[in-house]
Each structure stands twice: as structure tokens, then as C-alpha cells.
Amino acid sequence: ENRPEVHRRYLDIQFLAWGEEKIGIAIDTGNNEISESLLEQRDIIFYHDSENELFIDMIPGSYALFFPQDVHRPACIKNKETTIRKIVVKVAISELD
């Protein structure tokens, strides 16, 4: 149900505090069909699907970094009975230069 997404102006750092989740990841090839673009308002583009998507398992204490070329589909619940809590930090790409 969660849509794959990308951000263009911010690095996305996600830390899982508790619970378990899967996150879909892929390189943005430019071939994904856009479902919704909120780039100007919220720095996010949603895709209908993601080409060559793989999933990583997140457990408490895990973190993932997503750059503008990384498509990610967060909060895919691994265990339906588990609630997740995450800390998400955005870092402006312009500050990395």
C-alpha cells in the first residue's frame, strides 16, 4: 500500500527506535511512473511502483540513509501486530558541499 518515494533536496536518515519494518530500496533509473509530485511543497515525489526494488529488514537500532537517487518505500510492516517508532532526520543536500 505504501508508495515508493524520492527526495531531491534532502538526504533522508531513518532510525528505527522500536518495532520491525521492511523498507523497499532501489536506484532511481528515471523509468518509474510518477503517482504524485509534491516536489515544490514537500520535496517528495511518489511513484506508482519501483523498478528493481529490493527490501531490507529494519530492527530497533537500525538506520538507513537515502540520497536523492535512492527510491525508498518506508514503513512496510514486517509483522502486522508490531507498532513502529522512527526518528527521521532531513539534511539539506546543499549543506554537504
pLDDT digits (tens, 9 = 90+) for 42-81: 999 999 999 999 999 999 999 999 999 999 999 888 777 7
- 64 in Cβ contact with 56 (< 8 Å): yes
- Name the average pLDDT for the chain: 93
pLDDT at 28: 96
pLDDT at 44: 97
The CATH code that applies to domain 5-95 is 2.60.120.370
**Measured distance CA(28)–CA(10) in Å, rounded:** 15
pLDDT over 90 at 82, yes or no: no
pTM, whole model, 2 decimals?
A: 0.88
DSSP string covering 2-59, please? Answer: PPPEE-SSEEEEEEEEES-EEEEEEE--S-SPEEEEEHHHHSEEEES--TT-EEEEE-
pLDDT over 80 at 29, yes or no: yes
